[in-house]
Amino acid sequence: MKTKRLAIILSVFAAVVLIVVLCSTVFTITNIELKFYNTPVKLNTLTKDTVAAHARFNYSESVFLASKKEYTKNIEEKLPYAKVVAIETVFPNTLRVCVIERQEVFVLKKAGGYIVCDSDFKVLRTGAGTFSSVWNNPILIESKTNVSDSFIPGMFLSPAAMPEIDRLKDLEGAFYQHELDVPDLLALVKSVRIAGNNLLLTTHDGVEILIHESAGRLVDKVGMAVAVLEGLSSAQRVKGVIAVFTAAGGEVTGTYLDI
């Protein structure tokens, strides 16, 4: 009986101590830190004060009870190029906002202009007129689908808005499987034309890559295209087509056509 009473008393005492700690001004949000996990370009002038203003931190809130999901949402809505990967608690009273700058990867057409997205298809910026892709710029997507004007920076596109999104994500993932990350992809590919189930990639050098039936074995087909491309001479890289397809026996085959 005494043991049970002692346990109850200790539990109540622990609860009181916890409440006191959580309510203590020592642990209320006082300081904000900003940390980048990559080298910012678009956000190179971003300061912790600007981040704090966009996050709308509650400075009467304990760091233990900080509304991190809400703060993340607020920051990413106001700063389209910022991807908040974590908000860390640094005791006793600091929140550290950890950010990766989103990279421009795809350009999609809309009525009278274009939309620039990252690999998550978050809208980073919009523009009027036509977009010309040059080396290391975002990849122009040529599709029959025009994205709605209702999408503005900070919003995410969905397959409902553009059905080809999943195929483009798969394409990027296939290149990554062959050790070609986003900077490598941007340096290689100028545009992608979606024609039915086929993908036509135009490189910055000039040679085109035609992937037949891209919904099947895309990783293998991209690997074959890269292998054929690496075997071309400098003269071949500026013209012609690399055709990649699944042969009758099920083997992925690639060939260069000098046309």
Specify the DSSP element, H or E, that contains 50: helix 48-55
Contact 211, 220 (CB under 8 A): no
CB 133 within 8 A of CB 105: no
3-state secondary structure of 170: helix
Do 158 and 147 contact (CB within 8 A), yes or no?
no
Give this prediction's pTM. 0.84
- 133 close to 140: Cβ distance less than 8 angstroms: yes
Eight-state DSSP code of residue 62: B
- 169-202 pLDDT, tens digit per residue, is 999 999 999 999 999 999 999 999 998 899 999 9
Residue 22: pLDDT over 60: no
Token couple for 188: 């290689």
Cα within 13 Å of Cα(176), Cβ side:
9
Spans of all domains in the chain: 25-101, 106-257
Contact in structure between 213 and 245 (CB atoms under 8 Å): yes
- Is residue 217 a contact partner of residue 252, using CB atoms and an 8 Å limit? yes
The sign of the dihedral angle between the CA atoms of 117, 121, 123, 128 is: positive
User: Does this chain's domain 25-101 share its CATH topology with 106-257?
Assistant: no
pLDDT band at 43 (very low <50, low <70, confident <90, very high): very high
The whole-number pLDDT of residue 4 equals: 60
Give the pLDDT of residue 16.
Answer: 35
pLDDT score at 17: 38
Q: Please provide residue 63's backbone torsions phi and psi, each rounded to the nearest 5 degrees.
A: -65, -25
Q: Contact at 8 Å (CB) between 227 and 233?
A: no
Average pLDDT rounded to a whole number, residues 135-154: 88
**Is residue 55 classed exposed, middle or buried when 0-12, 13-18 and 19+ CB atoms within 10 A define those classes?**
buried
Average confidence score pLDDT of the chain:
89
pLDDT tops 80 at residue 54? yes
106-257: which CATH topology? Rossmann fold (3.40.50)
Q: So what CATH class is 25-101?
A: alpha beta
**What per-residue confidence (pLDDT) applies to 3?**
63
Q: Please state the rounded mean pLDDT for residues 96-116.
A: 94
Q: What is the C-alpha separation between 208 and 5, in angstroms, rounded?
A: 80
In the chain, % of residues over pLDDT 70: 90
